[in-house]
Amino acid sequence: MKSTTTISATAYLRHFELDAMPFDKDLPDEELWLPSSKALLVDELVEAVHAHQHILLVGEPGVGKTCTLRALRHRLPEASFRLTYAHNATLGRRDFYRQLCLSLGLSPKATAAAVFYAISGHIEQLGRDHVHPAFLLDEAHLLHQDVLEHLHVLTNYEWDRKPLLSLVLVGLPELWERLLLRKNRSLWSRLHCRLTIPAADVGDTNEYVEHRLRRVGAKKMLFNSDALTLLHEATRGQLRDLDRIATNALRNAARRKLGTVDRDLLEHILAADQSPGGAA
C-alpha cells in the first residue's frame, strides 16, 4: 500500500511538473500563506504581545488558527520573546501545569504547588532577562473548568502590577461563550485583546491555491475558475478539507492525463469524498 501511494504521488508531480506536493503541511513559517484579509488580524496579535496583553483568539475548525499563530511566531523576535505552545488541553490542573513545565524545559515537580512555583519562578527570571514569555494554549475550549478558573492566578506578579506574561487562548467559538460565564470573569476581565478569525471567502481560497501551487513551481493555475468556486463552496475555505480535496483532484487529473482540474472532475472527487467506500 505504501509503495502504491508513493508512485501515485510521484506520477502526479511529474505530470504537472511540480517540485513537491503543493498541499503538504510541512512548511517553514516564512512560507506559510496568510491572506490579505487576515494580515490586519496578525498585526493586532503582534501589537498585543508587544504590549504584554492577554489574548483570546477563536475561529471555526479549519479557518487557519494554527497558521495565524505561526505567523505571529514569525513576526516576534526571538531575542525579546519566548513563545511556548501547548496543545493538550484535556488535562486536569496539576497535569496541565506539569505539561507546561515540560514545554518550558523545566523538571516537573511532585506537587501542584511546586509545579506552579517553578513556572512562576521561570517567568520572573525571563522578566529579569528582559524576555517576554507568551503561552499559546491551543484547543483551549477543551480546558477543564478548574484550569480556566486558575489561569488568572498565573498572570499575577508583584500584586498584579507587572505584566510579565502573555496568555494566548486559542479555540473554537464556544471558548468565548465559556469565558463569559460568571465563574470565569476573573480570567475574562484580563483578556484585553479579543479576536475572531473570520471564515475564508472565495478570494481567499483562490489566493491560497495559487500560493501553494506557485511555491512548488506550477507554471499555470491548475484549477479552472469554476472548479475553484466549487472547491470553495464545498470546503467553505477550511484549509484541511481544501488540502485533501485539492490533492485528490490533482492526482485524478494526472491519472486522466488532464492539464487542469475542471468542475466535472471536482464534482466526481467531492462525491467520492462523501461516500463510505469512496476512492475517486
pLDDT tens, residue by residue, 158-171? 545 567 889 999 99
Element spanning 11, H or E: helix 2-16
- pLDDT for 26: 78
What is the average per-residue pLDDT within 80-103? 88
pLDDT tens digits, 72-84: 999 999 999 999 9
Pairwise CA distance, residues 246 & 23, whole Å: 8
Residue 278 has pLDDT above 60, yes or no: no
Q: In the structure, what pLDDT confidence band is assigned to residue 156 with cuts at 50, 70 and 90?
A: confident
Start-end ranges of CATH 3.40.50.300 in the chain? Answer: 36-196
Q: In the structure, what pLDDT confidence band is assigned to residue 92 with cuts at 50, 70 and 90?
A: confident
- pLDDT for 161: 57
At a CB cut-off of 8 Å and minimum separation 6, what does 175 contact? 56, 58, 140, 141, 169
- pLDDT for 7: 41
Pairwise CA distance, residues 135 & 127, whole Å: 14
pLDDT tens digits, 256-276: 999 999 999 999 999 988 877
Which residue would you say has higher pLDDT here, 80 or 11?
Answer: 80
Highest mean pLDDT, choosing among 27-41, 89-103, 231-245: 231-245
The mean pLDDT value of the chain amounts to 88
At a CB cut-off of 8 Å and minimum separation 6, what does 105 contact? none
The C-alpha cell of 256 is what? 486522466
- pLDDT for 134: 93
What is the average per-residue pLDDT within 115-124? 86
What is the average per-residue pLDDT within 185-206? 93
What is the average per-residue pLDDT within 148-155? 87
What is the average per-residue pLDDT within 227-249? 94
Start-end ranges of CATH 1.10.8 in the chain? Answer: 2-25+200-274
Pairwise CA distance, residues 178 & 160, whole Å: 24
Which residue would you say has higher pLDDT here, 58 or 114?
Answer: 58
**Alpha carbon distances (Å) from 233 to 34, 96, 227:** 20, 39, 10
What would the CATH number be for the domain defined by 36-196? 3.40.50.300
CB 22 within 8 A of CB 250: yes
Lowest mean pLDDT among 144-153, 184-193, 213-222: 144-153
pTM for the structure as a whole: 0.82
The DSSP symbol for 20 reads S
What is the average per-residue pLDDT within 201-221? 93
What's domain 2-25+200-274's architecture?
Orthogonal Bundle (1.10)
- pLDDT for 163: 78
